[in-house]
Amino acid sequence: MLGTNLALGEISVDGLDLTAVSLDAARLAEVAKMDGAIILDNEWRVILTANAHLAPPPNIPTTESGARHRTAQRVAQITRLPVVTVSKDRAVVTLYINTEQVDLTPRWTIRKRILQHLQILVELRKRFDEADERLLRMELLGLVTAREVAHMVRMGEMVGRAATAIETMLADSVQDPSTTETLLADRVFEVERLVGLTLQDYLDDQAESARKKLAELPNHQLAHTWLVASELGLDKLEDGLVPRGNRLLYQTGVHSEHMKALLYGAYPDAQRMLHSSVEDFLEVKGIGIKSATRLRFGFDRLLASLHPIGQRTISELN
């Protein structure tokens, strides 16, 4: 607390009285080891109280999620005094003045956080690719369950959020963003499209509403596949699912909405489409020999990429 007044006294409980202690970096660091608030005089020269417990009314609106930051924002509104919070874990310094908040985080700290988050993003993209590859494999084998779908979608959402967090940090940084933005674009390339195709495959006309629910999920819920599955309406994780075919057609290079509409009208699901012959495709009104041959070649290429369960490729063994 940068200052004191009667309003602060009404919501301040307990605390260690340090009225005679002048403010300097060493003393501030020492009293900061305690959990409670530190209250300075109105000239910011003396530490009045350390380890104080602040209890503002809980009905005051706040945009923060953490308990310490919610309290700080509410106290600033009640007392009209500047309030500073320091998050050691996130390396973030925030100043609250009335209803306003200002990020005071040092720029070097922001750059360090960007590098840390980039490492996290790279790892998340790797895990997303693994989930996407597994889902594709299960689709080709006809063994998809709700678990694979929810896990793949969950990882895609995590990649998107990690990238958004880095973009926000870049806006607060003085460093040249070009290199980082290039890496970001590479890490998130195709992720949103693949997540969208997956939702269309398994949720059909509910895909758009499911995408909104996914975006609104708190981070702690996004950490659990079963919670994501529940939000998507896929409550039984081991239930077998059959895709509509969006993902498989995308993998074969079919992007024409007209072509997809013809195939969806002729085939009830992706498995029927996947194992149809050139002659079968030619029976679909509007599909000629060139398109039928290209479809069969694309599906054959995907099926050929499957190796028997339990077998690993030479490149994976090296």
Q: What pLDDT sits at residue 147?
A: 95
E strand or H helix at 229, and its extent?
Answer: helix 225-231
Q: Where in the chain is the domain with CATH 1.20.1260.110?
A: 107-231
State the Cα–Cα distance between residues 41 and 19, nearest whole angstrom: 9
Q: Where in the chain is the domain with CATH 3.40.1700.10?
A: 6-103
State the Cα–Cα distance between residues 207 and 124, nearest whole angstrom: 23
Homologous superfamily (CATH) of 6-103 is DNA integrity scanning protein, DisA, N-terminal domain (3.40.1700.10)
pLDDT tens digits, residue range 240-282?
A: 999 999 999 999 988 889 999 999 999 988 999 999 999 999 9
Q: What pLDDT sits at residue 145?
A: 95
Answer whether 96's CB lies under 8 Å from 73's CB: yes
Q: How confident is the model at residue 314 (pLDDT cuts 50, 70, 90)?
A: very low
Selection from 88, 83, 73 nearest residue 39 by Cα: 83
32 to each of 28, 81, 93, 242, 275, how far by Cα in Å? 6, 19, 14, 57, 67
Q: What pLDDT sits at residue 91?
A: 60
pLDDT tens digits, residue range 200-253?
A: 999 988 999 999 999 999 988 899 999 999 999 998 999 999 999 999 999 998
SS3 16: strand
Q: Which amino acid is at 240?
A: G
Two tokens, residue 53: 């417990």
pLDDT tens digits, residue range 79-136?
A: 999 999 887 655 678 889 988 888 776 665 667 778 888 889 989 999 999 999 999 9
| CATH architecture of the domain covering 253-304 | Orthogonal Bundle (1.10)
State the Cα–Cα distance between residues 280 and 228, nearest whole angstrom: 38
Angle ∠(148,248,187) on CA atoms, nearest 5: 65
| CATH architecture of the domain covering 107-231 | Up-down Bundle (1.20)
Return the higher-pLDDT residue of 100 and 283. Answer: 283
